[in-house]
C-alpha cells in the first residue's frame, strides 16, 4: 500500500461524499487525527478498517490498496448492467450480468427493461445515521405488490424480497451512489438513482 496514494484517494472520496474528517472518523470509530494522518500520507488505515472504508465509499478494498480509481473502473464487471428476470408463475427472481438464456416453470424468460420511476411511484429513501431506510406507499395487496427491491452499484447487488400484504421497510448500508431497482406487479421493473448527500 502506497500511503500517499491511498491517503490522497481517501481524501478525494471523502470530499466527494461531503464528509468532514470528523464525520468519516465517527463512521469507522477512529479519531479525526487518524483520518488527517492518512490523508497527509503519514500513515495508513489498519487493514481491519479497509472493508468498512470501501463500503462507505462504494468501492472495493483493492481500489483503496492501489490508491487509484481507474477511469474505466465502472465498466469492468459493472453490476449496473445486471439484467433482472421474474417468473410470472412462481415469482422467482433471477439475475444475470450478461446475456443469458433463462427459463423457469417451463417458460423462457426475457430480461425486464427498467423504467425510470415517476415522482408518484418513487420509493421513499431516508438517511438514518449511516443506513438507508426505504419505504413505499405502493399498494401491497395479493394482486398488486412490489416483489423485490434491489440496490445496485458498480460492484454489488443487494436484493430484498418483498411479500404481498407486508409493508415495504428495508434497511441498507449507505453507499456513495447507485440505484434502486424494484419490481411492481402493476408497473413492471422500475428504478431510481440514489446519491448520498450530507
pLDDT at residue 70, as a whole number = 57
- Whole-structure pTM value: 0.59
> What confidence score (pLDDT) does residue 176 get?
66
The residues with which 160 forms a beta bridge, in sequence order, are 149
The pLDDT value recorded for residue 178 is 83
The fold adopted by the segment(s) 3-66 is: 434 Repressor (Amino-terminal Domain) (1.10.260)
Spans of all domains in the chain: 3-66, 79-195
Count of CB atoms within 10 A of residue 39's CB? 21
CB 177 within 8 A of CB 198: no
Average pLDDT in the chain? 86
79-195 classified as CATH 2.60.40.730: yes
pLDDT at position 74 = 40
**148-171 residue pLDDT tens:** 999 988 778 999 999 999 999 999
Mean pLDDT of 129-136: 88
pLDDT band for position 16 (50/70/90)?
A: confident
Which helix (H) or strand (E) element contains residue 87?
Answer: none
Alpha-carbon distance 86 to 140, whole Å? 18
Amino acid at each position: 500500500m502506497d500511503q500517499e496514494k491511498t491517503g490522497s484517494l481517501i481524501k478525494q472520496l471523502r470530499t466527494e461524499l461531503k464528509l468532514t474528517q470528523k464525520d468519516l472518523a465517527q463512521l469507522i470509530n477512529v479519531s479525526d487525527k487518524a483520518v488527517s494522518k492518512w490523508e497527509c500520507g503519514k500513515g495508513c488505515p489498519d487493514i481491519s478498517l479497509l472493508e468498512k472504508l470501501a463500503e462507505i465509499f462504494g468501492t472495493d478494498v483493492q481500489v483503496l490498496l492501489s490508491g487509484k480509481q481507474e477511469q474505466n473502473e465502472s465498466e469492468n464487471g459493472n453490476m449496473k448492467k445486471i439484467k433482472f428476470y421474474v417468473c410470472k408463475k412462481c415469482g422467482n427472481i433471477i439475475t444475470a450480468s450478461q446475456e443469458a438464456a433463462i427459463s423457469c416453470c417451463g417458460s423462457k424468460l426475457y430480461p425486464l427493461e427498467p423504467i425510470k420511476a415517476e415522482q408518484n411511484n418513487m420509493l421513499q429513501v431516508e438517511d438514518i445515521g449511516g443506513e438507508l431506510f426505504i419505504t413505499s406507499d405502493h399498494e401491497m395487496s395479493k394482486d398488486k405488490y412490489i416483489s423485490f427491491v434491489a440496490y445496485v452499484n458498480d460492484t454489488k447487488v443487494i436484493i430484498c424480497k418483498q411479500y404481498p400484504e407486508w409493508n415495504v421497510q428495508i434497511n441498507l448500508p449507505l453507499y456513495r451512489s447507485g440505484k434502486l431497482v424494484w419490481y411492481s406487479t402493476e408497473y413492471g421493473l422500475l428504478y431510481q438513482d440514489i446519491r448520498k448527500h450530507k
